[in-house]
């Protein structure tokens, strides 16, 4: 049970864990569970809340052994098992001279991320990426601004990043430590890109983080990811997007608060603080006229409703697909974790 990414998921105790090795096994397991109306969860992403990838008194389907990967070089297509993690995927594909847009963290599972959404970004420079974040670490009592700069063309010290690369290093450390027992929470918001809103989000976050900063093991992390208008424009040209990204008419910022800590006794403190912070940030964005309804599902908190931001027309499409391929509502009723559309329940009961 300690193999879960989030400590909250490790708290759950299923009655049974099934590890299919081929897709036919998955189909057979779901068929059996449906027949007996047995509740189950699917382990394969990294949603932090309890119940998303775990379950008490039910069955957990662990996708870890669906780990095959192959490449058809004739057509440039990779066949990737749903249980693989992005680090292993990137390493294999790179050795075969191809690559895919995927997760930023190497230990994230492909299954959960893709279902929650991953899309190919249409940036001005497809080889470059810039990611900005703020973090407070209890161990040092300091706040840090982290700029992640990626450039995948095989050029050493590319000119585009000459300014950033000219800044002398104050700290150099190659050590990486991953603690699989940490507790985690995500909450997110989306707003129009503006310096004022960036500063506001940081200040509000600091207000709620401040009283908790001395709790052992705390890392309070803010992430700002751009959703440039060009992405929305290309999405429209490609036929739209089920998440409603094609409706955007301006440059947006996807904002994340990610909090990690060690003790279960602190769960309520950090969850309440993060929820309150994101609620206030959304309220200020609304008052400034820069709010956006999009809630990125992979970053959504347990109390948030990401599907509401997809738009009613897209929800109608999703309900129709669910009725077609899951007419019994198995993944609405038997899978308790994850985010549900309240309107879907009524459709399933017709």
| Residues 180 and 136 both lie in one domain | yes
Residue-wise pLDDT for 331-340, tens only, equals: 988 998 888 8
Domain endpoint, select from 73, 94, 118: 118
pLDDT tens per residue, range 136-185: 555 455 555 655 555 555 566 667 667 766 766 544 444 444 445 688 99
Residue showing tokens 């669910």? 322
Return the higher-pLDDT residue of 240 and 16: 16
Residues 306 and 317 in one domain: no
Residues 142 and 209 in one domain: yes
Contact 331, 26 (CB under 8 A): no
Same domain? 234 vs 177? yes
CA distances from 172 to 129, 158, 169, 175 (A): 22, 20, 7, 9
CB atoms within 10 A of CB 184: 19
pLDDT at 243: 84
The yes-or-no verdict on residue 224 having pLDDT over 90 is yes
Max mean pLDDT among 13-17, 29-33, 143-147, 342-346 falls in 29-33
Q: Which residue segment(s) compose the domain that 92 sits in?
A: 7-118
Q: Tell me: do 140 and 278 sit in the same domain.
A: yes
Same domain for 194 and 167?
A: yes
Distance of alpha carbon 238 from alpha carbon 295, whole angstroms:
22
Question: What's residue 169's pLDDT?
Answer: 56
Asked whether residue 150 falls in the same domain as residue 78, the answer is no
Residue 211 is assigned to a structural domain of this protein: yes
Phi, psi (5° rounding) for residue 38? -100, 130
- Answer yes or no: is 48 within a domain: yes
Domain contains 2: no
Which residue among 92, 118, 144 closes a domain?
Answer: 118
User: What total number of domains does the chain contain?
Assistant: 3
Rounded to whole angstroms, the Cα distance separating 264 from 104 reads 27
Q: pTM (2 decimals)? A: 0.75
d(CA 94, CA 89): 8
Q: Are residues 66 and 146 in the same domain?
A: no
- Does 225 reside within a domain? yes
Q: How many secondary structure helices (H) and strands (E) does the chain include? A: 11, 11
73 CB burial (10 A radius; 0-12, 13-18, 19+): exposed
């Amino acid at each position: 049970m300690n193999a879960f990414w989030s400590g909250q998921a490790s708290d759950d105790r299923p009655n049974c864990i099934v590890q299919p090795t081929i897709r036919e096994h998955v189909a057979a397991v779901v068929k059996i569970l449906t027949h007996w109306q047995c509740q189950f969860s699917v382990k394969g992403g990294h949603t932090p809340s309890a119940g998303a990838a775990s379950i008490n008194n039910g069955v957990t389907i662990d996708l870890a052994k669906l780990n095959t990967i192959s490449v058809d070089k004739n057509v440039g297509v990779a066949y990737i098992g749903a249980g693989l993690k992005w680090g292993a995927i990137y390493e294999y594909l790179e050795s075969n001279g191809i690559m895919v847009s995927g997760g930023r963290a190497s230990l994230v599972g492909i299954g959960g991320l893709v279902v929650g959404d991953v899309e190919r970004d249409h940036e001005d420079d497809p080889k470059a990426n810039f990611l900005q974040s703020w973090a407070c670490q209890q161990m040092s009592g300091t706040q840090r601004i982290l700029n992640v700069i990626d450039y995948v063309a095989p050029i050493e010290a590319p000119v585009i990043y000459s300014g950033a690369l000219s800044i002398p290093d104050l700290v150099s450390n190659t050590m990486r430590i991953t603690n699989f027992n940490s507790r985690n929470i995500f909450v997110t918001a989306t707003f129009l890109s503006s310096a004022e809103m960036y500063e506001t989000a940081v200040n509000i976050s600091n207000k709620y983080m401040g009283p908790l900063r001395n709790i052992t093991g705390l890392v309070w992390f803010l992430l700002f990811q751009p959703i440039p208008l060009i992405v929305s424009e290309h999405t429209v040209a490609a036929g739209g997007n089920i998440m409603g990204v094609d409706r955007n008419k301006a440059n947006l910022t996807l904002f994340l608060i990610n909090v990690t800590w060690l003790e279960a006794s602190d769960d309520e403190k950090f969850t309440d603080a993060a929820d309150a912070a994101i609620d206030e940030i959304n309220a200020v964005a609304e008052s400034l006229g820069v709010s956006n309804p999009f809630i990125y599902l992979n970053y959504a908190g347990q109390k948030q409703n990401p599907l509401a931001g997809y738009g009613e027309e897209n929800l109608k499409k999703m309900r129709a697909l669910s009725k077609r391929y899951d007419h019994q509502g198995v993944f609405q009723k038997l899978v308790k974790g994850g985010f549900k559309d309240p309107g879907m329940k009524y459709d399933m009961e017709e």
